[in-house]
Amino acid sequence: MSDIGFEIDARLKKLVEEMKKKGLRVTIQRLAIASTVFEKIKGHPSFMDVLEEVRKRTPGVSTSTVYNTLQLMEKLGFITSFSYRGETHYDQPHPHVNVVCMDTGKIIDLPEDRDVLQLLEKKGVKVKTVVVYGYCEASGPG
């Protein structure tokens, strides 16, 4: 297994511990959903992306089970989400700047850019996520 595989296991392990601590049921379906999200999280998957992938691996999982599990994971601080073009996208929970290309729909992370986050913190804003709309290099002249 790669380093990524190991990282996924560590996050899953932590989530399972947290769920048990809270007296929540750790089901196969919840584990399948969580591992899918952790694997895909860097690509800012939409709810439909997660649902499709989960169903490929674990057929028969209901939409509400996926939705509720994602809600739970967000509540526990393992993921965050933001809305774009009417769809919920899931993301890594540490505050960072996301650039959404309005042409290609691509979502890029700017983790190294602390300036915006520091500015907001100075204003007393507890940052959940920052989404900047623009046009990426690959998009045509707008």
How far apart are alpha carbons 102 and 48 in whole angstroms?
19
CB of 97 to Zn ion, least distance (A): 8
CB of 27 to Zn ion, least distance (A): 28
- What's the 3-state SS for 73-86? HHHCCCCEEEEECC
- Residue 53 or 91 having the CB closest to Zn ion: 91
CB of 82 to Zn ion, least distance (A): 8
- Measured distance between the N- and C-terminal CA atoms of the chain, rounded to whole angstroms: 43
- Residue 30 or 45 having the CB closest to Zn ion: 45
- Residue 8 or 79 having the CB closest to Zn ion: 79
What does the chain come to in residues?
142
Secondary structure of residue 11 in the 3-state scheme: helix
Q: Which chain residues interact with Zn ion by CB under 5 A?
A: 91, 98, 109
- Residue 18 or 109 having the CB closest to Zn ion: 109
Residue 115: exposure state from Cβ atoms within 10 A (0-12, 13-18, ≥19): exposed
CB of 35 to Zn ion, least distance (A): 19
